[in-house]
Structure 1
Amino acid sequence: MKDTQRHAIVDIGSNSIRLVVFGGAARAPATLFNEKITAGLGRGVVPGGKLDPVATAQALKGLARFAALLRLMAPDSLRVVATAAVRSAADGPAFLSAVKDLGLPAELLSGDDEAVASGFGVIAANPSACGIVADMGGGSLELVRIAGGAVHERVSLPFGVMPVGAIRAGGPGLLRKALRKAVKPLAWLRPDNGQALFVVGGGWRALARYHMLECDWPLPVLGSYSFPPEDARWLKEKVRIAGAANLAALPGISTTRAAQLDDAAALLVALVRELEPSRIEVSTYGLREGLLFQRLSPKVRALDPLIEDVRHTVGGQLQVADYPDALLAWSDGAFPDEPGHLRRLRHAACMIAATGWAANPDFRAIAGEDMALHGHWIGIDAAGRAIMAMALHVGLGGDPDAPPALLARLASPQELDRARAWGLAFRLAQRIGGGSSQALEEVPIAVAPDGDLVLRVPRSDAALIDSVCERRLTRLALALDRAARIAV
């Protein structure tokens, strides 16, 4: 898969049908187009039963529109997949045949196929993810153990949001009993494993959005948002009290999702009881992104999704293509032995900082902060976004002592102090070379054996170092609790 290609997926689910066209970096696909049909194919379907005729007609009408759009869009690849409702229905093969008659190459995913794709979707967004993936669709629940960048044990269970509603309608306690019976034989789901729970699916994303609102969370970005498992029961009670009408009036929660939140919350509570996870984390990547990830070569899979995403986004805005890498290498001298998880954030910040010239000079710091905090990045959590935002706030001209207040709610003081130092280094580098990669190569910075922060300047470049450079070097050294000196 090349970065210039567009890849389309039609996902025929039990609750909704989506056409999503992806572009951007192959390792970090961006959504170019996303349209949904809320057909409810799985409504009332029991194994061996038939699809609802009204839902079927609505689905085929919407799929005919998708087929027409795809003919005009002409994506480089197309995959059309159907999941639980079509898999369970007696007339599923006839429905797939009707979809193929529209010119869409429909295929039926098995429960195992669906679970594997969901697991790889979470891995695509968070390569270090380790724990249990729970993907709640309209008709089924996929549980998958992931670790080491690989999918391990998995199972597909009939606990999608529609079946859950039907089970709960039978009386209190039935959902928990049914789920317990289903997971009890699965040793890899033992509660004493204390694994993280990565939740996937529109219902749980909407539930997490509600959690954000109730907690007054300052960063409305769902990817990698997490909360303690004990909040599940509190959240279920809040949803019950609020009611669907009030939930639908909240930002980011559709009417359809609002009607399902009570059942989604009930399933989450039951799952937390059985698995006893260490934390609950939201993944905005799932089955569709997993299908794309499975097509990648091992070499591309191994790339850092954050770095690839930022690199692709800022590529067209760089005045000097190699400057971000030169800035990273130069700043390595001031931050020797920095852990890899921090260095990758500094790398991403270097790339964004190199685009500062494209913003209004009066708003460069704000533009950098906004990209870090609200960019559609993957492979990064809220603390990581705040660390990058602090570095960019300082590096692009903001007051080092007056960063945005919300950053203190997202990252620790120690993390923000480190990021402040990154920003001071960016400002020093800009003063030395004005965005020149060669200048950074010729005027390196390093920590000397005696602990001093030393700027080494060839005599031929001595004129580059003015009083502003000296002040910026001194301030950077103070931020690192070191003395500063210039060696000509």
Structure 2
Amino acid sequence: MALLSLLRAPAALPAAPVTARNAIIDIGSNSVRLVVYNGPPRLPSVLFNEKVLAGLGGSLSRTGSIDRKAMAMAATALARFAWLTREMAVPEVRTVATAAVRDASNGSDLIALAAAEGLEVEILPGEAEAIGSGYGVLSAFPDADGIVGDLGGGSLELVRVSGGEVRERASFPLGVLRIAAIREKGKDALARHIAGVLKNSGWAGRGSGLPFYLVGGSWRGLTQWDMHLTRYPLPIVNGYAMSAARIRTLGAMLTTASKQDLKAVPNLSSGRIPTLGDAAALLSEVLSGLGCECTVTSSFGLREGLLYQALDPEARREDPLLAAAREEGRRLSRFEEHGDLLNQWIAPLFADEPADLARLRHAACLLADVGWHANPDFRAERGVEIALHGQWVAIDPAGRALVAQALHTALGGGSDSPAPLPTLARSEMLDTARRWGLAIRLGQRLSGGLGAPLNRTRLERAGRAILLRYAPVDAALYGEAVEKRHRALAAAFGLEAAAGSAVSRSGSG
């Protein structure tokens, strides 16, 4: 059989994503927010994000209505947001309102103010809000199996998620702006109230052995504070885990923490600080009543859930990490198709890897060219930054570290592990990622970033060698620089390098 017939035929690549700009204006009980999205439907990037802490639900427990100051702040925010979406030429703007507008006696006044700005407000029932929050978590954690808790200013939604679907759900008037009034009734008033609500609704004990997914700005603020206290090396809240015992400790610490201490927390909105104590107290009682022993913070919630619900089934099944990495690669790489081809080209060297590692390797290949336009001395640093700090989901901190290590090595950073990678992933796993990086580096040099050389050559492991096979017509591809990188890759496996149009299966050329 001719060698050319042994080499890979051009592979079918995923279709280029359909990009569309859309926006959601979320009128919540605590904040009014505009988010403008652009990019692939499965995981669009955020083009613009702004919130105003209007506190619409702050007066509900006392008067049953939205007070004048909060109404004015919301009206100003809606006017600005409507203007921005027009100037950004956003073709589709969805405006939704939740508990405060739903429950307030003068909620219709706010709807009229929005209508005057050309915004049609959709009031979400509690169940629809819960479903949206559940699907938001599933968008970020496709394998989530637990209970979602979405804490807003006016309500708390609890949602059971498993198998990629939303199961039981409920909405309770337990928003963070309502908790202070309950706590003022006595030391154990909140504990008794939550226990009674969960028992009467049939939710008591439903979380035994399950994680509790935290959604909502107040609980994200609690997460940010813990990250600050523990000097967590990544500024990424999504996927951050805390135990129920740690939540109780944080609640106790908040009783004595000063505003100065909390203002020192990076990225913590000053408007969230007054609600942290109530948010922590509520969370402790909910965890106790459900029986959950750990929490996982989600940066995705209602808005992302609304986008996810609008997807067709095929798009929902797409891996969100790979979808986002592919789009980032297309945006920053020299040649759009190169990442998927590169992954296919190096895959024979890692055939025994489990699926969870294979998808991280694939993500690294999709991002392999993101540093090409940077100063050569900073390309490796750029790769690490993108892997660690990018807006990725469906990846844990160790996974980010492995992708970062692969990019660091692939982009010329060598085989060392820059901080904080050794604190995020085990050394043996970083060794695996270094081999990914060396294989990527070889493929990049061999192909010059093009797809055709990868389709016409083959990399494989046989006997005591890493073999690079090519047809005689492509012999010029194997230059000095390629040979050097080939040998470095083989050495990382403890093997020899062999190349040519007639290399033997044992590895002797």
TM-score range, shorter chain: over 0.9
Q: Identify if the C-alpha distance between structure 1 residues 439 and 62 changes in structure 2 by more than 3 Å, giving closer, same or farther.
A: closer
Q: Identify if the C-alpha distance between structure 1 residues 241 and 28 changes in structure 2 by more than 3 Å, giving closer, same or farther.
A: same
Q: TM-score, normalised by structure 1?
A: 0.94
Q: Which of the numbers 250, 259, 266 marks the counterpart of 1:235?
A: 250
Aligned to 2:11: none
Equivalent-residue separation in structure 1 for 2:477 and 2:259 (angstroms):
64
Letter paired with 2:21: R
Note the C-alpha offset of 1:482. 4.7
**Aligned positions, number:** 485
Equivalent-residue separation in structure 2 for 1:320 and 1:65 (angstroms):
39
**Percent identity among equivalent residues?**
44
Native 8 Å contact 2:61 2:181 kept in 1: no
CA deviation profile, 1:322-366 (whole Å, cap 9, x unmatched): 211111001101111322222221122112212332111111101
SS of aligned partner of 1:423: helix
CA deviation profile, 1:415-449 (whole Å, cap 9, x unmatched): 2111111001112222323223222223211233x
Letter paired with 1:175: L
Aligned to 1:441: 455
The answer to whether 1:404 aligns with 2:379 is no
Note the C-alpha offset of 1:403. 1.6
Higher deviation after alignment, 30-39 or 124-133: 30-39
Q: Which of the numbers 452, 458, 477 marks the counterpart of 1:464?
A: 477
Unpaired segments of 5 or more residues in structure 2? 1-16, 504-508
Note the C-alpha offset of 1:262. 0.8
Letter paired with 1:480: F
Native 8 Å contact 2:329 2:339 kept in 1: no
Q: Identify if the C-alpha distance between structure 1 residues 173 and 244 changes in structure 2 by more than 3 Å, giving closer, same or farther.
A: farther
**Over 6 Å off, 4+ runs:** none
Equivalent-residue separation in structure 2 for 1:34 and 1:83 (angstroms):
19
Unpaired segments of 5 or more residues in structure 1? none
Equivalent-residue separation in structure 1 for 2:110 and 2:478 (angstroms):
73
The answer to whether 1:379 aligns with 2:409 is no
Q: Which of the numbers 155, 164, 174 marks the counterpart of 1:140?
A: 155
Aligned to 1:348: 363
The answer to whether 1:261 aligns with 2:276 is yes
Aligned to 1:416: 430
Letter paired with 2:351: P
Higher deviation after alignment, 138-147 or 49-58: 49-58
Q: Identify if the C-alpha distance between structure 1 residues 243 and 98 changes in structure 2 by more than 3 Å, giving closer, same or farther.
A: same
Aligned to 2:261: 246
Where in structure 2 are the equivalents of 1:48-447 lying within 5 Å? 49-185=64-200, 190=205, 193-400=208-415, 402-447=416-461
CA deviation profile, 1:177-203 (whole Å, cap 9, x unmatched): 111111124556625631111101111
Native 8 Å contact 1:203 1:260 kept in 2: yes
SS of aligned partner of 2:372: helix
Aligned to 2:53: 38
Letter paired with 1:218: P
CA deviation profile, 1:385-421 (whole Å, cap 9, x unmatched): 1110000111111120x22131011112222111111
Equivalent-residue separation in structure 1 for 2:282 and 2:32 (angstroms):
22
Equivalent-residue separation in structure 2 for 1:433 and 1:94 (angstroms):
63
Native 8 Å contact 1:19 1:36 kept in 2: yes
Note the C-alpha offset of 1:228. 2.6
Equivalent-residue separation in structure 2 for 1:458 and 1:67 (angstroms):
60
Q: Identify if the C-alpha distance between structure 1 residues 95 and 438 changes in structure 2 by more than 3 Å, giving closer, same or farther.
A: closer
Q: Identify if the C-alpha distance between structure 1 residues 62 and 314 changes in structure 2 by more than 3 Å, giving closer, same or farther.
A: same
SS of aligned partner of 2:118: coil
Letter paired with 2:177: M
CA deviation profile, 1:199-220 (whole Å, cap 9, x unmatched): 0111111111111111111111
CA deviation profile, 1:144-187 (whole Å, cap 9, x unmatched): 11111111111111111111121112221211111111112455
Aligned to 1:454: 467
SS of aligned partner of 2:419: coil
CA deviation profile, 1:7-64 (whole Å, cap 9, x unmatched): 1111111111112211122111222122222221111214992222332233223222
Q: TM-score, normalised by structure 2?
A: 0.90
CA deviation profile, 1:440-461 (whole Å, cap 9, x unmatched): 223211233x474332233333
Equivalent-residue separation in structure 2 for 1:142 and 1:192 (angstroms):
14
Higher deviation after alignment, 235-244 or 172-181: 235-244
Note the C-alpha offset of 1:467. 5.4
Native 8 Å contact 1:48 1:88 kept in 2: no
Native 8 Å contact 1:46 1:88 kept in 2: no
Higher deviation after alignment, 39-48 or 74-83: 39-48
Equivalent-residue separation in structure 2 for 1:159 and 1:476 (angstroms):
57
Letter paired with 1:265: A
SS of aligned partner of 2:46: strand
Native 8 Å contact 1:124 1:293 kept in 2: yes
